[in-house]
Amino acid sequence: MRITGLIVPDEVAVKASITSAVEDYFLALEPFIPGLGGVRNDRVTATAVVGVVSGIVSIAGGVFTTAAVTLLAANVEIYTLGIGEKAKAATVVYV
């Protein structure tokens, strides 16, 4: 995950909140297994992650330029978890 242009009054606290919220978002995802029912929650989307970041930054009275989900240094717009795969936010990088 890469965030650029973050400007907030309390940068340390906001960065900690963003990291925690992004980790929670990824950990809540789980593979979808057809036939077992339930709500499908197996897709990492850039839109959802940007929404998580935007909510925290907005509440803190700040702004940011962009937020991108990355996998092996490439931007990812949508990623669907495979069977048995769990999502994890490795790091949040601020540029």
Q: Are 62 and 8 in contact (CB under 8 A)?
A: yes
Range of the domain at 25: 2-94
**Model pLDDT for residues 19-70, shown as the tens digit of each residue:** 999 999 999 998 887 777 677 889 999 999 999 999 999 999 999 999 999 8
Instruction: Tell me: pLDDT of 5 over 90.
Output: yes
Instruction: Tell me: pLDDT of 83 over 90.
Output: no
Task: Mark 74-86 as b/e (b = at least 16 C-beta within 10 Å).
Answer: eeeeebebeeeee
At 86, the pLDDT band (50, 70, 90 cuts) reads confident
How many domains does the chain divide into?
1
Best CA proximity match to 71, nearest among 83, 48, 84, 89: 89
